[in-house]
Amino acid sequence: MIGFGNLSPAAQDTAKGLVKAAPHWVALIVLVVVFLVYMDHTHDVAKQVADQRIKVCHDVQNKSTKVLDSLVARLEQFSTEYALLREAMRDNAEEIKRENSLLRELFKELMHEVRELQKQHEAHKSMHAPNK
């Protein structure tokens, strides 16, 4: 039989009368109470899962922020290095242009000297060639 030890004697009499007079109402009330306890437990479990998922999302967000900060720092470093490289290449290009210009002038002078030497050689050859 159902124990009603925690209830006052008048409440015990009322509960016993209700169990005898309308057991279907008692069963319905017990069923509703059990369902409410189950729903409360399910809600607690769902809340724990949701809290855990939120914590994981925050962890991922924090890691992503750190990675993005690191990428920004690296990109700034690469940008600085690229600017230095571009400046060095521009300086080298100008130096190469000057060197090429000097080499062209030198080549022109050498070609002029070679032509002069060829003319002298031809003149010398024709002066010392035996007459036929």
Assessment of whether the complete model's pTM goes beyond 0.85: no
What pLDDT was estimated at residue 1? 43
Which of 6-32 are b and which e, b meaning 16 or more Cβ less than 10 Å from the residue's Cβ? eeeeeeeeeeeeeeeeeeeeeeeeeee
* Distance between CA atoms of residues 32 and 26, nearest Å: 10
Longest CA pairwise span in the chain (Å): 162
Q: What is the mean pLDDT of the chain?
A: 89
Higher per-residue confidence, 21 vs 119: 119
Q: What is the pLDDT of residues 54-100, one digit of tens each?
A: 999 999 999 999 999 999 999 999 999 999 999 999 999 999 999 99
Contacts of 16 by beta carbon, 8 Å cutoff, 6+ apart: 4
Amino acid symbol at 34: V
Residues above pLDDT 90, as percent of the chain: 58
Q: Does residue 19 contact residue 2 with C-beta atoms inside 8 Å?
A: yes
* Distance between CA atoms of residues 37 and 24, nearest Å: 20
Which strand (E) or helix (H) includes residue 128? helix 23-128
Mean pLDDT of 24-41: 88
Higher per-residue confidence, 45 vs 115: 115
